[in-house]
Amino acid sequence: MNKLKQNGFWIFCGLLAAGLVAAIALVVFPLWTQRDKNRTDVIRMQGSLKTILDKGVPGGSDISEWQQRKKAYQDDYKAISKLYTERDVALEAWFSNAQAAGGQVPLPDQFSDPYKDACKEVEAMLTKAGVAVGTPEKGEGDEVKLHFGFNWQNLAEVEWDKLSMPDRQNVIRALQKRFWIAKHLAQACAPAEGGKLAARVLDLRFFKPLCDDVSAIPPLMGQVGSVKSPEYIASWVRPQMGAMKFPEFELPDRLGTTLSFGFGVEVPFDNVPRFLQHLLNPAQAPHVLLNIAACRIFVASQNETEISENILYDPNKEPGTPGKVGELRMQKEKAVNPVNATLWLTCQVIDFDPALLPKWATQ
């Protein structure tokens, strides 16, 4: 014990040295390690910053350019949405004599007669202009090829009682929109300022059924593989499981959807460019926003390759007859007109919903 008291100072120094070593091991060494790591990170960041500086750091001019580009994109967005909104007005309109109170969807009884009258007016307009609508046509061997025209929905066949109220409203809304599309197509066939451009409306067929319940709304002829189905339906879409299938697309941000349909029409060759122009950019209302997804143009039938005609003449009595025969032949050849071109068009109309546009796009 006396020796401990005599050597207390050295013992204290030993303990202090041990504590110092422990402190260095527990505190200083980790700090040195962290220092080395931080130094490595700083060196790496310096290299990255140098690379960025070599490439150029975005400054005020870059930010200003980006803001100008953003404004240009927004202006383009506004212009496109404005066009879509203006063209959608026609699809959203109701017949003046079928408008329900408060802008609600009319009931079937309110909608039926105005719909039938409007359909008759469209066909009467085409008939007056000389455009045939869905009439039978004889082909080779006097075979009758059926054409279906606009395929107006017979509302008397719809069993409204089988449909729920939302389904009834959806069907009536769809029929109203399809009518405006049909009228748009009819006016492309016979525009008011351009006269008749088409010779015959063969078929108009929307690919999406009005309702999934086929027991309430019978499908159109040709949608279930009927032998009377127009041959050009298969070029649009293949029947699957007794119904015609075609993909509809939704616009970004749920701003609307597409309404797809096939349109068969006969058009004189000279009128094809003008007819397509009126489809895409109509001169008269309704101004429906229509896109052509696919188009096939062909000749369904050919002119006769040769026509023989016997003419008897006496050179002694009629010395000018050979010349007259040549003149008659030239007249006959000039009278031969090219046959009409048949167009199979796959089209989509944009059913736009401006209510879902962002606020900045409507200001």
Tell me the per-residue pLDDT of 42-62, one tens digit each, with 9 for 90 and over: 888 887 777 776 666 666 777
How far apart CA 264 and CA 199 sit, in angstroms, is 11
Which pLDDT score, from 0 to 100, does residue 228 have? 42
pTM of the model: 0.71
Tell me the per-residue pLDDT of 260-300, one tens digit each, with 9 for 90 and over: 888 989 998 888 998 999 898 877 777 888 888 888 888 86
Residue 136 pLDDT level (bands cut at 50, 70, 90)? low
Asked whether the beta carbons of 167 and 210 are under 8 A apart, the reply is: no
Q: What integer is the mean pLDDT of 241-255?
A: 70
CB atoms under 10 Å from CB of 94, counted, come to: 18
Asked whether the beta carbons of 95 and 115 are under 8 A apart, the reply is: yes
Domain borders along the chain are 2-53, 73-302+338-361
The residues, ordered by sequence, that sit 6+ positions from 236 with a Cβ below 8 Å of its Cβ are 205, 207, 246, 262, 344, 346
Asked whether the beta carbons of 179 and 115 are under 8 A apart, the reply is: yes
